[in-house]
Amino acid sequence: MATPPPRLGPLVHRAVHHGAALWLVGSLQFVVAMAVVQLAWTGHPGYSLLNNHISDLGNTQCGPWPHATSPDVCSPWHDVFDVSVGLVGLFVILGAVLARTGFPSRRSALLGLAMMAVGGAGSIGVGLAPENVHPFVHIVSALIAFVVGNLALVVLGFAMFRDTRWDGYRAYTLLSGLVGLAATGLYVAGVYAGLGEGGMERLIVAPLLLWLLVAPIHLLRIPQYAPHALPSPVRH
């Protein structure tokens, strides 16, 4: 009796790995940039994860700022932050295009990835319009990044239903989006639950940013279709 061929698990196209790598690099560089720019902060009092807005790091001028918990803003490396948040938005857009075949071929998946790209465009807007230069554009861009980005996770969570490539990640994706949206609602309502204004803002961003670290690693672990060229037949 002939031995049956080994059962292959789920596979993805090479472009999916490229898109996943962009998501991973984009989110990692943003995490590093935030940490570095925070260390360079010279405002008084020191930078607070609970009290300061994330975007205070991109404020282009030092001095008083109409922010109740941090009236003195000074971020000497603001350019690093503004470029970094723009880059993560660009990488999210490119990653959504390249990784699309790693998701089910359903309209809901396409919608979720399109929303992910729109959220990335919001991040680019945040970087191009620092809070003290174009406050209205900055706020609108941030809301697009927060709301549309987290909504994208909810839609993608439903789209992953019965897709074996996303076993174990469906509930995580859906829950991440719901946590981000709930935190957004609390933030807009001025309810900070003891986390402070900055802490609640980070609760909006953290689920989406963490997903952009976890999901790409998962996609990169899935083998590619025909990752190596088949050997040519030997002729005698």
CA–CA separation, 28 and 30 (whole Å): 5
Domain ranges of the chain: 14-221
Cα distances (angstroms) measured from residue 83 to each of 28, 53, 88, 206: 14, 17, 9, 19
Cα distances (angstroms) measured from residue 180 to each of 6, 152, 208, 235: 41, 11, 7, 60
In this prediction, residue 8 carries a pLDDT of 52
In this prediction, residue 65 carries a pLDDT of 74
CA–CA separation, 140 and 124 (whole Å): 12
pTM over 0.75: yes
Q: What angle do CA 220, 221, 224 make, to 5 degrees?
A: 75
Helix (H) or strand (E) holding 15: helix 14-39
In this prediction, residue 226 carries a pLDDT of 61
Place of tokens 């996770």: 153
Written as six digits, the tokens of 130 are 């620092």
CA–CA separation, 153 and 172 (whole Å): 9
CA–CA separation, 73 and 54 (whole Å): 12
Query: Which parts of the chain register pLDDT below 70?
Result: 1-9, 66-71, 226-236
Q: What angle do CA 135, 140, 141 make, to 5 degrees?
A: 95
CA–CA separation, 172 and 160 (whole Å): 11
In this prediction, residue 166 carries a pLDDT of 86
CA–CA separation, 37 and 75 (whole Å): 7
